[in-house]
Structure 1
Amino acid sequence: MYMTIGNNPRGIRYLREETALLMVFPGPKEPTQEQYNNVMELVFERFAALYQGAEFEVHGKEEKAIVHVQIGTDVSDLPASRRTWGLLAVTSKWWMCDGCRCPFFALVHPDSFNPAKLDERDPWKYIKYSARARNASSDVAEEIAQRRGIRPTPAHRLPNLLPGETNLIDPMHSIFLGGHSQICCSPEFMSAGLVKHVRRNIILNNGLVSSAGIEKMEIFLESIVWPPSISRLPPSIARATGKIKADQWRTHSSIFFLALFVAWEEDGKIPDKSAPPIRSNTKLAATQKAQEKLVRSRLREYLPWKDPDATEAQLDAVDATVMNRSYRKHFDTLLMFTAAVRILTSNSISPNEVMRGCDMLETAIQSYARMHAHLVPYFHLVVDHLRKTFLRWGPAPGWWTFAYERNNGFLGRFNHNGHSGGELEGTMMRGFWKTVMIQDLIQRLERLPNPHPADVQSLAMLREKIRGGTSERRGTLENYLARAEAEKLRGKVHFPKGSTTCYLRPIQLYLHVLSHLKSTWRTVDLISDSEMEQTSRHFSFIDGVKSYSHVWLEKRRYGAATHARGRSARFAYLDHRMPVQIEYLFCVDRETAEGVRLSANLAVIRRFRKSTVITDFPWDLYAVDMGVAVWLADDFHKLEVVQLERLSGHFILAPIEWFFLHWDNY
């Protein structure tokens, strides 16, 4: 269990040294509800004391001040959330959702994904029946749990905490990763998040992509040029096999519709026909059969529940229900689903965008339900919870659990020498807090005004011990923290140690750079080094500038296409909108006779050329929401020189073929 201080600025809120590890549950088996409550009792006793107020040292004040602490939200995966708040498991028949009365078997009908048709629960009734069950016998308490969906937990004693309200549905788990498979009837069907489930269970496991299509997708994914600011996808992503992280599912969701277009397209369009049936002797056929059997069984429960007068003919018709296998319907639904996910997981979002993104997500999920695709509880929970959660708590990166998953990975790397049964958990706890204290010590040593040589040596040793890997690729959390700190780093450029002297005339860039510097250095009359200086204001620009393979601008890495070390980061946006290829990165530093320092950081770029032909791609309607644009492949405008500080981000370069012409898709 982690605690994050909501008062911290978002740029440091999720750093490990700003996160408190409150406890680690003893393993290796999952604790029972009673064992879970015994541990949580200790936590909530201390939170109750903090609610009343406790004395803390406050920066800038000599005396201690009383500080009141309140739990704002609980964000975790479904199993932990349900146990913390005493709610029944998400697989329970009548208590799948803690916010409405939708039963588990209703996941087959579009109305279950329409908020206007959901009967909301009163969260205060959970508190009411929890109080009754607390002092009741075990049999009565269990009857209350089955009839009212709640068991007493220590969390119910704190004010302002309501089951179904305080426990937020985490977008990282619900949209990308999913939950623990141990709580589910079948790991294949029940534990996936939305993106993972659509990709793996609805499309691949139903045989909608042939083996030839899979090969096309693999070739397409290998051709993508990934920017250094995001993590690469594993080779197994095309077949959705292996252990794929939430951050990789998020990256994959942004380009999966393109891969599917490559696999399905015929003459540049998605065909209006159904996928061929799967051979009966394959594993996919067994998987498809199991999914259809689940959908039919739930439909047979849903019909008499919704309409007690349902006829035998209606019930018998359920046995003929199969999933719609239309390429075009699946692709159109996937496009709307992808656009909705991108809107809702943006780093900034307005109330209107929340409403629009949730409307699109609900429409896409209802479309899957009409096609009789097998849907899991997360599809309903995001419909019932996300809209009000976004409107209350703001953009998802401010409260989702990427930071805590990263900390879990950090804890999992500790060497425990095969110990368990409480020893492993103690090792993790001590290791985590040692790291936090080392970070604090490093910051103290860095702030010393006149450090002793021994302090400098200690600081270097501590940095060496605590430093991470050498990879410059970052995940969702690192990118979020970097963007949160971008205002402090506005225009800040960091050059690597190594540089070469580049003479501009042999590469025909001298006049380009000279023209740009004339408009930049207006305090002097800049002339070519082949001209004679006529007055004291004249300043000759002598050929030869520092050239770099790569630079860091606002913690983003940009590279030059003419250097081997910079090619992976050669694509960038100029002024947030214009895609360019960076050819050179220069630093020009001169000094006039009067001692005036003149400097300029330059990028030599080529802009991508847009097509003069009107395109008609299937995703054109959602292109802005999905951040997709199309340019001609390997076709650029002339070289131009711009200020390096105008570079504003990266994009993914994905080449595709369309009507036998090469296009580049971003």
Structure 2
Amino acid sequence: MADVDSIYASDDASDVSAAPPLQATAMSDPLSSSTFSDDHSGLRLDDSRLESLARASSPLGDILTEELDFNPDGIFDTPGPTPPDTDDEDTMEDLPQLNQDPLFQGSDALFERTSDSGSDDLAPDTSIPPAFDEDPVIRNAYITAYLLSACHGYTQEGIKAYLDSMHESFTALQRKGQLQLRGLDTMARTLLTVERRLRIDPNRYIVYYFLCTVCWARHHPSSLNDLDDESCTMPECPGFLYSLKELTGGHLKRTPLRVLPIAPITPMIQRFLLRPGKYEEFQHWRLPGLDDVGEVPPLNEPRDPLDAFNNVNWVMGDITDGWGWRAVSWGLERRKVSSAVSLWGVEDVLVEEKQQRFVSLPCGLLFSINIDWFSPTKRSRAYSTGAIYVTILNNPRSKRFLPQETILYCVIPGPQEPTLEQLNHITEPLVEELRALYEGVTMRIHGEPDNQQFPVNGMLYINTSDIPASQKITGLRGVTSEDFMCTSCYQTFSSLVCEDCFNHETFSMRDERRFRKYAYRWRDASTEERERIEIERGVSWSALTSLPGWMPARDSPIDFMHAVFLGEVKHIVQQILVVGGMLTRRSRMNNPYEKLETFLGSIWWPSTIGRVPAKISGTLKADQWRNFATVLPVALYYAWQQNGKIPDCDSPRPAPKSKAGAAFAKTEKLLRERRKAYRMHVARQSGRTVVAAHFEEDDISMDRNYQRHFKAVLDACSAIRIWTAQSITPNEARRAQDYHARACRAWSLMHCHLTPYFHLLTHGDSFIYRLGPVYGFWLFGPESNNGRLVKVNTNGHTGGELEGTMMRSWIKNILIHDLVRTIEELDEQNEEDLVAIRKLKNYLKGDKKSHRTRGTLLNMIASRAGRRGSNAESNKVHHSSYSSIFRFSFEGSDEVELPPRGKRINLNMIQINGTSLYGLVFNYLQTLWNSQVKLVSKTTDWQAGEPFVVTAVQSFSHAHVNGTQFGACTSYRGKGTSFAYMDGRIAVQIQYILSVKHERRDPRLAGLSTAFAIVKRFMSAGIPLMPWDNRQTDLGILTWNFNKFLDPEVIELHRLCGVFALAEIPLRDHGHVWVTISLDHLTQEPDALGYDSDNE
């Protein structure tokens, strides 16, 4: 066994600076007829938010005696939803009661078979929503009605009052001959009819199963009235299915006691494929000549994962780049076989004996599943609700985890988490769908005839839940079980105290077919036998086990978000460093703990990046621990260094009577017990008779040497930064694995307390080889989706009512995204359509303050009337002005994006450190445009060329380059992002962000324009060697002269490539220095565009 110094003996040596052709089949899908409400009930204005205003000064002023208006401080100026992490419970008092929420439906209402008098039959999804056959003004009234219900708590009655008032007003306009509105006679008058006309009724995509209160046996809603009684139908189950209520006339009404809302994934996939370009988007990953559709065999699983790559330095950018993507087989069937055929009893058999790569099918979709539980209310943590998400991995990574691209399969009713057997009842419908999708279904595709369908296949590829949820849904035992802590190898829980637990060379790997074999045995066994199998074999039956190709451990990658940030980084800081005494006060004037917190509070962070709290004792979130890991090496150097060096000595042991001392002693006792348990386990494995009394606890204490701990931290942080990058090579993944294993072995030899996460991450590289960079499958996306569900208004309803409301909210958001796309696709958009788009997008963003809507539908009608007779060109210009706003607000960015407006500046009036800005810009432009124009300055003969006019320059507070925001330090709004990297790792301060437009002297020639930045580079002369210098590539940490810059220069904006945190540390004999810590990897994707309405 090695010692910790031998692990670091060679520390320095480790540094290494097109869519497939469509295949159609005929189909018939006749349109169903539509009936519309003709209810003309009277106007009701009892809602305080609908006001009666004076006669408007418009072409309609002498027609209407009264006009309905929205208070500008009303519908689009209310506070946004309370964030899920807020602790202010008072805000909950202002929310409407859940039973008044139009999204809320009680269990009794869900199962009533009644029809809405104003509803119309739903047309097939291939046609546009029925509302698009009506006048845009009426359609906009529908959208406003929906937003009143979704954003502002309007009741069903309030919405009907609004729609009735709109109908009467529109009728008055039409009666006076001022305007003709198509579809007015059949205008919708209820919220349900509005939702169906706009095709945003979520209930058509949801099946409300009801469950037994004890065993959770699942029943289809159609069977409610066919059951003999309210008792559970499962043998010997004491549970109940529904309650009885006597109605007038003696009839008994059945109300389910526990409701499970499920959104089947097949209809949702069909809806996605009806989006413009979605079929092609699912094929974006295909490499011409390598991933063509056809009969291609799957790749074989390599013995050594690195053997799957011809080039170990090939950059993997997404899950489609891992070797596993092309190794999935199609045509398998999971069957029980005799022991003569297979030792394992269950095998995946090729049905047609033909090898076919799954993703080489015309549309082979691979899915991930995520299951998680959360508390839907801030007032009580006793109620736990679950959610199961299905993500389509063929989607581009930038879109994959967006709510509108994610299928919420079900919301699991609380208040407690279900057992595995109960959970199987929930997942069985999903498994049935997955089996059908694996074999193949046909679906319609946008842009193709409605009577043609195309083959679509789907398969569950991975389970991306956190470890407790992952092992529950797959039927595996928990990580704290002695023999099944790890499902990849045979390392035990007690071996966490041993170096071998983190040494790949000592691992004995499991054969997963054993889990599969005993899962099937568990399913068919008696209760006693099931308990024995679970204890001795580490597995129970999961519904997922029946899926062909599914392996519970291989297909359940460790979640790097929880394992790395909430597991490992948090433990390193709070347990190894704090509880372990590594930040104990050394003297009255030397307190490393205080130094560490002082340093954290002094760091300059870009305004687009979340800060690390200065206090490390509180509860931090995953992204905060991520930031902490990024700066931890510099923070420890600041806290520990003496005369510029990390001392080679031990930290003082915490005082025994202090809280720190008590925590330290408790950890020491725990480790002694585990070391004893490990020695007993080793003896038992060797065949010896084990008597606990014969094994004594040792008196070993944790090694508290500063240098050894600092080296381990450098290793761990290097591994974490490499692992969590947006792209990674196989060679980098292996290097990260070596770093991580070395850190864990060092801490083990120093007798530190380590958790199962430290061992599980020693298998991290194998998941990356198979699945690509962790950005493609980690849980930041699904976790944020939980936050969206938490924001749905709740009021303590149980039995599935609360969960049904969440499900309807989720589905409705997806439908609204599709509604926006439908409006944007109209060949002829008018002002009403553009206003509707803005309203809906503001709703989807949760933004009710900015882009507020002023005026009314009637004002829009008035403006339409006033536009009669105007020329088409003026309307075209008005449309373009709207488009320019939306382009910056909602669409994706190009390589470089500037705000919509800048500020004109005079270059002659500006100097930087005595350097004229005019001269810098002129010289740059003269070189840039040399082949197109001879540019002359103000001091030369203008006849010799074309003069550079200084007033043609605009200054901007910020710009987005490849999605990352950079700002100018001379702008108040830009200085928060004014430090940046250019050309790799050259640190600069951005002085100005400018654009220039040069009009040509010859009017026949197109003008020239460009955008650029003026920057000052950091200096790095005479900097002494720092402890992280041999890890610059992996840690992204560089040292510079304090507050010293080179002369300003002009650069192209696309040369800006990253942001960093900036820290100041003192050095003996060198004063102070700056340290930059790269933050390139800190956001899941580049910062989204989000311009405000003005620039300065």
TM-score normalised to structure 1 length: 0.90
User: Which stretch shows the higher mean deviation, 143-152 or 585-594?
Assistant: 585-594
**Structure-2 separation of matches of 1:155 and 1:45:** 10
How is 1:251-650 mapped onto 2 (pairs within 5 angstroms)? 251-307=627-683, 318-383=697-762, 385-468=763-846, 489=893, 491-507=895-911, 508-522=916-930, 523-535=932-944, 537-542=945-950, 545-595=953-1003, 596-613=1006-1023, 615-650=1024-1059
My pick for the range that moved more, 450-459 or 142-151, is 450-459
**Equivalent position of 1:485 in the other structure:** none
Bigger drift between 78-87 and 496-505 goes to: 496-505
Q: Which stretch shifts more, 64-73 or 217-226?
A: 217-226
Report the equivalent of 2:513. 124
Q: Whole-Å Cα distance in 1 between the matches of residues 1044 and 734 of structure 2?
A: 39
Partner AA of 2:905 in structure 1 = T
**Cα shift readout 1:111-130 (whole Å, capped 9, x = no counterpart):** 01112211211111111111
Aligned position for 1:208: 582
Task: Indicate how the Cα distance of structure 1 residues 469 and 638 shifts in structure 2: closer, same or farther if over 3 A, else same.
Answer: farther
Task: For residues 324-347 of structure 1, give each alpha carbon's deviation from its aligned partner in whole angstroms, at most 9, with x where no partner exists.
Answer: 111111111000110011111111
The AA in structure 2 aligned to 1:240 is: S
The answer on whether the counterparts of 2:904 and 2:952 sit within 8 Å (CA) in structure 1 is no
How many residues get paired?
A: 629
Match of 1:180 in 2: none
**Deviation digits for residues 304-324 of structure 1, max 9, x if unmatched?**
332457999x98774211111
Q: Give the letter for the 1:281 counterpart.
A: K
How far residue 468 of structure 1 moved from its aligned partner, in angstroms, is 4.3
Partner of 2:87: none
1:240 aligned onto 2:617: yes
DSSP-derived class of the 2:1016 partner? strand
Query: Helix, strand or coil for the counterpart of 1:231?
Result: coil
Residue deviations 1:561-595 (CA, integer Å, cap 9, x gap): 11221111111112223111011111111212213
Bigger shift: residues 409-418 or 220-229 = 220-229
Could you tell me the TM-score, scaled by structure 2's length? 0.56
Question: What is the DSSP-based 3-state SS (H/G/I as helix, E as strand, rest coil) of the residue aligned with 2:626?
Answer: helix
Aligned residues of 2:899 and 2:959 also touching (Cα < 8 A): yes
CA 1:162 to 1:506, structure 2 compared with 1: closer, same or farther past 3 Å? closer
Contact (CA 8 Å) 1:261, 1:270: kept in 2 or not? yes
State the partner residue of 1:661: 1071
Contact 1:322 1:372 in 2 (8 A): yes
Structure 2 counterpart of 1:501, which letter? I
Shift of 1:532: 2.7
Letter in 1 for 2:1031: Y
Q: Which amino acid counterpart does residue 618 of structure 2 have in structure 1?
A: T
1:269 shift after superposition: 0.8
Q: Structure 1 residue 490: deviation in Å?
A: 5.2
Corresponding position: 1:198 with 2:607: no
Structure with bigger gyration radius: 2
1:335-390 deviations in Å (ceiling 9; x for gaps): 0110011111111111111111111111111111111111111111111x312111
Matched residue, 1:66: 455
Q: Structure 1 runs of 4+ off > 6 angstroms? A: 309-312, 314-317
Return the alpha-carbon distance in structure 1 between the equivalents of residues 570 and 425 of structure 2.
Answer: 35
Q: Which amino acid aligns with 2:486?
A: C
Q: State the Cα distance separating 1:230 from its structure 2 match.
A: 2.2
Q: 1:42, CA displacement in angstroms?
A: 2.3
Give deviations 1:183-241, integer Å, cap 9, x for gaps.
Answer: xxxxxxxxxx11111111111122211363222222212221112342222343xx231
**C-alpha RMSD of the superposition:** 2.2
Aligned 8 A contact 1:505 1:543 in 2: no
Aligned-partner Cα distance in 2 for 1:573–1:540: 30
- Distance, in Å, in 1 between the alignment partners of 2:428 and 2:895 is 50
Per-residue deviation, 1:539: 2.8
Give, as a single letter, the amino acid of the residue that structure 2 aligns with 1:75: T
Contact 1:504 1:544 in 2 (8 A): no
Which residue identity does 2:1009 align to in structure 1? Answer: S
Alpha-carbon separation, structure 1, partners of 2:690 and 2:557 = 40
Stretch of structure 1 that moved more, 303-312 or 418-427? 303-312
The letter of the residue matching 1:531 is T
Distance 2:697 2:776 in 1: 44
Once the two structures are overlaid, the 10-residue window that deviates more, 545-554 or 199-208, is 545-554
Structure 2 vs 1, CA of residues 459 and 538 (structure 1 numbering), >3 Å: closer, same or farther?
closer
Q: Which amino acid aligns with 1:200?
A: Q
Task: Give the match for residue 15 of structure 1.
Answer: 402
Amino acid at match of 1:526: L
By how many angstroms is 1:146 displaced?
Answer: 0.9
| Partners of 2:690 and 2:1066 in 1: CA distance | 52
- Bigger shift: 633-642 or 439-448? 439-448
Contact persistence 1:611–1:632 (CA under 8 A): yes
Query: Is contact 1:533-1:540 (8 Å) kept?
Result: no
CA contact (8 A) 1:581 1:608 kept: yes
SS at match of 1:22: strand
User: Kindly tell me: are residues 302 and 579 of structure 1, through their superposed partners in 2, closer, same or farther at Cα, counting changes over 3 Å?
Assistant: same
TM superposition shift of 1:505: 4.0
Assess if the C-alpha contact under 8 Å between 1:510 and 1:543 holds in 2: no
Of residues 1049, 1061, 1065, the one that matches 1:652 is 1061
- The reply to whether residue 162 of structure 1 matches residue 543 of structure 2 is no
Partner of 1:100 in structure 2? Answer: 489
Q: Relative to 1, partners in 2 of residues 1:540 and 1:302: Cα closer, same or farther, differing over 3 Å? A: closer
SS at match of 1:529: coil
| Maintained 8 Å contact 1:539/1:592 | no
Q: Flag the 1:52–1:529 CA change in 2: closer, same or farther, 3 A.
A: same
Q: Give the AA of the match of 2:496.
A: L
**Kept in 1: contact 2:515–2:539 (CA 8 A):** yes
What secondary structure, in the 3-state scheme, does the structure 2 residue paired with 1:652 have? strand
* Partner AA of 1:34 in structure 2: E
Answer whether contact 1:126 1:150 (CA < 8 A) is retained: yes
Q: How high is the sequence identity, in percent, across the aligned residues?
A: 37
SS at match of 2:1065: strand
Q: Is the 8 A contact 1:264 1:270 kept in 2?
A: yes
Whichever residue aligns with residue 205 of structure 1, its letter is V
Distance 1:266 1:651 in 2: 26
In structure 2, how many angstroms separate the alpha carbons of the residues matched to 1:161 and 1:88? Answer: 17
Deviation at 1:546, TM superposition (A): 1.5
CA contact (8 A) 1:610 1:632 kept: yes
Asked whether the 8 Å contact 2:496–2:759 carries over to 1, the reply is yes
